Amino acid sequence: MAGKPPRVAFATFAAAPVHWLALGFGSGLSPRAPGTAGTLVAFPLHALLLLLPWPAHAGLVAVACVVGIWICGESARRLGVHDHPAIVWDEIAAFLVVLALIPQSPAWWLAAFVAFRVFDILKPWPIREADHSLHGGLGIMLDDILAAFYALLLLWGARLLLA
């Protein structure tokens, strides 16, 4: 992406329901760290999902990831920018995966948040390659799913060490 993409106007966000989801219910409009703001949206969603039986919880997280391919791709198409920083559904869905697969306590949630954000920002191999080589909604979602996978490996490793 050459230069900084244009900010998304609130009117653009409000005009299309797909933007409501892709832009994380408005969190992606944050002028600073929209990916971090979007990731934070996953916490209240996770709290709601905890009220469901595990199969429903896991199924909805999987749906959020799969449907996220379309949500992110369609929003990017309408905005005219591949993986616009305001598109944060990928962070939300991927972080829901992490939250679903770790111990359910505030300490683990905080550790998960830090680990996920570090991997999403630094994009170690192969995350950076996936981010740059795949286009459309799949490319937007995949780098965050890979960051979630790396965060989970780190957290599961820490859990084994602490056991």
> In sequence order, what DSSP letters do the residues of 20-82 get, joined into one string?
HHHTGGGGGG-SS-HHHHHHHHHHHHHHHHTTS-HHHHHHHHHHHHHHHHHHHHHHHHHHTST
**What DSSP letter does each residue of 68-127 carry, written as one string?**
HHHHHHHHHHHHTSTT-TT--HHHHHHHHHHHHTS-SSHHHHHHHHHHHHHHHHH-TTTH
Residue 146 has pLDDT above 90, yes or no: yes
Q: Binning pLDDT at 50, 70 and 90, where does residue 87 land?
A: very high
Whether residue 2 lies inside any domain: the answer is no
Residue 101 has pLDDT above 80, yes or no: yes
Nearest-angstrom CA–CA distance, 77 and 139: 13
Q: What is the mean pLDDT of residues 79-95?
A: 95
pLDDT of residue 163: 81
pLDDT (tens digit, 9 = 90+) per residue, 74-83? 999 999 998 8
Q: What is the mean pLDDT of residues 81-109?
A: 96
Q: What is the mean pLDDT of residues 48-57?
A: 98
Whether residue 5 lies inside any domain: the answer is no
**Of 87, 85, 62, 59, the residue nearest 73 (C-alpha):** 87
Domain count, the chain: 1
> Which residues, 6 or more positions from 57, have their beta carbon under 8 angstroms from its beta carbon?
49, 50, 100
Whether residue 112 lies inside any domain: the answer is yes
Whether residue 94 lies inside any domain: the answer is yes
**What average pLDDT does the chain have?**
94
pLDDT of residue 12: 82
Nearest-angstrom CA–CA distance, 57 and 43: 14
Whether residue 121 lies inside any domain: the answer is yes
pLDDT of residue 29: 94
Domain span holding position 45 = 10-162
pLDDT of residue 2: 57
Q: At what angle do helices 34-49 and 54-79 cross, to 10 degrees?
A: 150
Q: What is the mean pLDDT of residues 52-71?
A: 98
Whether residue 68 lies inside any domain: the answer is yes
Lowest mean pLDDT among 7-16, 21-30, 96-105, 109-118: 7-16
pLDDT of residue 11: 80
Whether residue 3 lies inside any domain: the answer is no
pLDDT of residue 1: 45
